[in-house]
Amino acid sequence: MASKDNMKRITLVVVALWNLLSETAAQSPAAMQGSHHQALHRLAVEAATNPVNDEVLEVAPELLSIEFPDAVRLVKFTLRKNTREWIDINFRYRPTAGVRYSLPVPELSDARYYTAEWAVLGVNDQLIRGSFSFAFGPDAMAPSYHQAAEELILRQRYGDPTIQYVAPPRTQIIIDQEPRRFDPPFTINLNEQQGDSVPPG
C-alpha cells in the first residue's frame, strides 16, 4: 500500500511539473515576442486620424488629430509638404500618456499633398511609427496618386522604389580670384653654376 501511495504522489508531481513546463513553453520569449508585435501592430493599425489617410478635402484642415486604442506617449508629430518642406505645427512632447492628441494647423499653402508623421511609445516603451497623407483644394487628387507617380519615377531612375533621391548640396563657384600663393622654404638661384640653394633675401 505504501508503494502505491508513493507511486500516486510521484505521478501527481510529474503531472504538475508537466503542466508547469507546458505553460512556460506557451509563454516562451518567442511566443511573448510574437504577441507583443501583434499588440504593436494593432496599435498602429487601429490609430484613427483626422484627416483620414489619403483623404481629399475641399479646404485645408484647421486641426490634425490622432486617436489610439490604448494610452500612449506621443513623441513625434510633424507635417510636411510633398516637396519635403516642413510645416511648424508647434508640437511639444509631454511625458503623460493619452489616447487622443490634437494640434491646430497654421494656414497651409497649395501643395500636391501633405503628410503627417507620428511616433509613440507603447508597451515597454517600444517605438511605433506611422503616417497619414491628405490633399485639399478644388483640383486636388488623392495623395496615393501622386505617391504612385513618384515611386514610378524612382523605379525608373534607380530600379529600387525604396531609394529616395536627395539633391546634392549647392556648390559655390568662385570666379576672378587668384589662387593663394605659398612661398617655398627656400629659392633656387639658377645663376649659380653649382646650383646651390640660397635662402630668400
For the chain, list residues with pLDDT below 50.
Answer: 2, 14, 17, 24-34, 36, 195
3 state DSSP class of 200: coil
Pairing of strands 98-104, 86-87: unpaired
Nearest Cα to Cα of residue 96 among 121, 113, 79: 121
Find out whether 65 and 91 touch, Cβ atoms under 8 Å: no
pLDDT of residue 27: 47
Range 47-158: architecture per CATH: Sandwich (2.60)
Report CA torsion sign: 145, 61, 83, 140.
Answer: positive
Neighbours of 38 (CB within 10 A): 10
pLDDT of residue 151: 84
Q: Please report, for the chain, the start and end positions of each structural domain, with discontinuous segments joined by +.
A: 2-36, 47-158
pLDDT in tens, 135-163: 999 999 999 999 898 888 877 777 665 65
